[in-house]
Amino acid sequence: MRMAAPAPLPTLDALGRRFAAVRALTEALAAPLSDADATVQSMEDASPAKWHLAHTSWFFESFVLRDHVPGYTLYDARYPFLFNSYYEAEGARHARPRRGMLSRPSLDEVLAFRAAVTEAVLAALPALPPTARALIELGCHHEEQHQELLLTDILHLFAQNPLEPALFTPDPKVPVGMPGPIRWIERPGGIVEIGHQGAGFAFDAEGPRHQVLLQPYAIADRPITNGEWAAFIADGGYRDARHWLSDGWAWVRAEGIEAPLYWTDEDGVWTRFGLDGRRAIDPAAPVTHISLYEADAYASWAGARLPTEAEWEAAADQPSDSGNQLDRAEAVEPRPGGGWYGDVWEWTGSAFRPYPGFRAAEGAVGEYNGKFMSGQFVLRGGSCATPRGHVRRSYRNFFYPHQRWQFTGVRLARDPGV
């Protein structure tokens, strides 16, 4: 990474240290990339790495420095148009599908922009009011979301290259035995409370905390594995309309879907492409890169169903910072033996809709979640690419039912007597 040495800064408090650490991890994740790697956009759902690096800096520059530091001058007055994402209150912006056309500014210029914003935020931090400090905390969580997106977008980009380059050197594999049969955790149902509570950070969509009535149910003690998914494929799961939602079956036929994203059948052996290149699938590891349609079809084939998000949250009983999550810039992939958190985001059968009493925040940051509460489904639990400490029991991720370039998997649920 070619960046100018920062000027001396004040001694950092906890928020400053957190901000600096988040910024450094983003840059470490992107460090192996060339300027070309960081510029190309592989599909409309994905963004170039260079854009992620710049957009997260635009967020801090706009909402912290511009709005709360008297006399601050924008690093480059052209950048807000280029690097605003979807904030209508912030004005016009470059079209999302054309982010990959931004050959300029160069990667080095974007990194210089990042360095300047980081230095300015840290220098201003001791004098910032509580409202600005709260925006820095929000911005750190926002950038952590983009760290995961940066990795999954690079993975999708590299998968389009016939050379199938690896971003990171693979770690040596430690043999792990196949997990035993699913153990069903019986839950009694009744009135439960879900949603965020307490003084810690949470996104607005995680609240208000409220009561939900659950019927008795059982939920699996682990996600579905690659080996179990291979059995679904071998049994004709992708060719049997009985198990598919109508939209899902139309998607399978239109797109020619036969396996999870990045899987290839090589002379009867399933391989997968990951950030460490192409390797044979690990049958004991959780299956990943599946859509809601696929998850729902597998559940039907297995005589089960997807859990609701309330069922998932009521049953999750491990610390949210546990499991296989992102700690540093290295190859990430789902690993065998996972618990409730990490490895793969788990599809639920719940639509991403507002909780009772939800109100979006005032101003541009109020556009963060509320306006996306249409047509998407909730996922829970985090993944191997989710920065450790980012998720909570109440955390609600959300994607459209056909999307699967994220580390998405499935945990089953069932009703009594099934």
Between CA 210 and CA 309 the distance in angstroms is 13
CA angle 139, 128, 54 (to 5 degrees): 35
Encode 76-141 in three state secondary structure: CCCHHHHHCCCCHHHCCCCCHHHHHHCCCCCHHHHHHHHHHHHHHHHHHHHHCCHHHHHHHHHHHH
Phi, psi of 192 (to 5 degrees): -125, 160
Tokens encoding 251: 């998607």
**Distance of alpha carbon 191 from the chain centroid:** 30
Considering only CA atoms, which of 347, 361, 342 is closest in space to residue 397? 347
Cα angle 141-126-196, degrees, rounded to a multiple of 5: 30
**Does the reported pTM lie above 0.85?**
yes
Q: Can you give the pLDDT at residue 265?
A: 96
- Identify the bridge partners of residue 108 per DSSP, sorted by sequence position: none
Cβ count within 10 A of residue 162: 5
Residues 6 or more apart in contact with residue 58 via CB below 8 angstroms: 79, 80, 83, 84
CA–CA dist 297, 232 (Å, integer): 10
> Please, which residues bridge with residue 272 across strands?
263, 279
Tell me which long-range contacts 139-142 makes (C-beta under 8 A, separation of at least 24). 139/19, 139/56, 139/59, 139/60, 139/63, 139/64, 140/18, 140/19, 140/22, 141/201, 141/203, 141/390, 142/56, 142/59, 142/368
Copy the structure tokens of residue 408.
Answer: 């998405």
Q: How far apart are CA 259 and CA 65, in angstroms?
A: 47
Per-residue DSSP letter, 168: S
Per-residue pLDDT 10s for the chain (418 aa) are 344 444 455 578 999 999 999 999 999 999 999 999 999 999 999 999 999 999 999 999 999 999 999 999 999 999 999 999 988 888 899 999 999 999 999 999 999 999 999 999 999 999 999 999 999 999 999 999 999 999 999 999 999 999 999 999 877 666 677 888 999 999 999 999 999 988 899 999 999 999 999 999 999 999 999 999 999 999 999 999 999 999 999 999 999 999 999 999 999 999 999 999 999 999 999 999 999 999 999 999 999 999 999 999 999 999 999 999 999 998 899 999 878 999 999 999 999 999 999 988 777 676 677 788 999 999 999 999 999 999 999 999 999 999 999 999 999 999 997 7
How far is it, in rounded angstroms, from Cα 81 to Cα 77? 8
How many CA atoms within 13 Å lie on the side-chain side of 204?
18
- Provide the CB-side half-sphere exposure for 353 (13 A, CA): 7
Residues 6+ apart with CB under 8 A from 10: 16, 122, 123, 125, 126
pLDDT at 1 (0 to 100): 37
Beta partners for 212?
Answer: 192
Q: How far apart are the C-alpha atoms of 296 and 155, rounded to whole Å?
A: 25
CA-based radius of gyration for the chain: 22
Nearest to 360 by CA among 145, 212, 201, 203: 203
In one letter, which amino acid is 303? G
For residue 10, what is the DSSP state? P
- Report how far residue 276's alpha carbon sits from residue 287's, in angstroms, rounded to the nearest whole number: 16
293 touches 244 (CB < 8 A): yes
- The answer to whether the CB of 326 falls within 8 A of the CB of 391 is no
- Cis status of the peptide bond prior to 32, with omega within 30 of 0: no
